[in-house]
Amino acid sequence: MSWKNTFYEKLMKTYNKKLNVDGVSGERMATRLAALSEIGLTTDNGSNRPGYSKEEKQAKDLVARWMTEAGLEVHHDEAGNVFGRLAGKNNHLPAVLSGSHVDSVPNGGHFDGPLGVLAALEVAQAWKDTGYQPEKPYEVVIFSDEEGARFNGGFNGSEGMMGFGSLEEKKKLVDSEGKSFSKVLEEVGLTAEKYPEAKRAESTIDMFVEVHIEQGKRLEKENLSCGVVTGIAGPCWLEVTFSGEAGHAGNTPMNDRKDALVAASAFITNIATLPAQVSDSAVATVGKLHVEPNGVNVIPGEVTLYVDIRDIHKETRDKLIDLVKQSGEQIASDYHTSIVFNETMRVSPVPIEEKKQNLLEEAILAHDLPAYRLPSGAGHDAMIVGEKIPVAMLFTKSINGVSHHPAEWSELTDCVQTVHVLKTFIEKLQQQGA
């Protein structure tokens, strides 16, 4: 049996076929997820579709074909984004956009990104099959290069549509093979010089709603198919360097040491206690550090580590940043070391309007499901769009919270249940002023 058939059979094995109503088809979702999973398939049965790669383009072209079959008018922009548009009864109104991305990290999973694209497409296909036309125009969107695996920095598609980012800075980007941003775009039929032309007038977009796997365990612990995202956390990265004195491990008494690693260790341990002091959605992580001289028998003289600080609210996120810095200053003093902070990133969080959350909750309740709200700790295209345009997000249950790995999995029943909620939400948006 081929991989595609194996993947399809696994999806269908536990699927609740009672969800095949109102034009929505679980079999169609499974077929399309399986077809996309074959593009860039790795030896570990994972996904490898870097942004602006031939594999990403192949996946986009396949979905574009399905868009056409669903009666959508397809067009591409100069950032490589793909749009499938369904005319509304009042076609002059700003469009409701929904979608995600189809690129992946190296050896990633098959749901992160594709689920959001196919969920948005399934809504349009269901409308076509049931003869429904929305009041407002509706567009299914595939954003380019969300993951950033190619250039160690993503969102090039959504940034292009929103007019963010400097072209001159992007042209300095080089991938692991030494190919420039310009060369990479050229290989998939795009040109860097035209990239700014992807900018779209904000007045043409009513809002953007994205479906995405949770990449966590909250929904699984609650045994819920989907949940309402309350906001998208904005990360701040701090590069922190503790400097002490290197010395011989045997000849330096314990009471005469300025051990940078001991100070850094105390700092790392204390960081874990700080997020709860500002909010229940704040997090802080140290996942990378360098020790110098890094010898078995040498007291560490310098340690550089990186702190990832996030929250969905700017005020509490920034308060946590201050607490982390205050903690570092105090610990450095206590251990007779010095400390230097270098902020390498600070992205604004994107809280989601209460009105949009309430409407998503209504859509969930309409399907006799419990309503559950949760924050997004990871970044998404909705984070970029949400800087200027109203956004909303639905999370779908992730098994064991696995993400960016071949074992990433969401049950088809949960995926299709999310499609029904998305469809109901977008239909509710058709009321003027929603």
- Per-residue pLDDT of 65-103, as tens digits, reads 999 999 999 999 999 999 999 999 999 999 999 999 999
Instruction: State both tokens at 112.
Output: 């992160």
The domain at 3-233+349-428 falls in which architecture? 3-Layer(aba) Sandwich (3.40)
The predicted pLDDT at position 150 comes to 84
- The CATH 3.40.630.10 portion of the chain extends over 3-233+349-428
Whole-structure pTM value: 0.88
**In this predicted model, what pLDDT tens digit does every residue of 235-269 receive, in sequence order?**
899 999 999 999 999 999 999 999 999 999 999 99
Separation of CA 407 from chain center: 18
The predicted pLDDT at position 434 comes to 47
The predicted pLDDT at position 212 comes to 98
- The CATH 3.30.70.360 portion of the chain extends over 234-346
Is domain 234-346 classified as CATH 3.50.50.60?
no
The predicted pLDDT at position 433 comes to 52
Residues of the chain with pLDDT under 50: 434
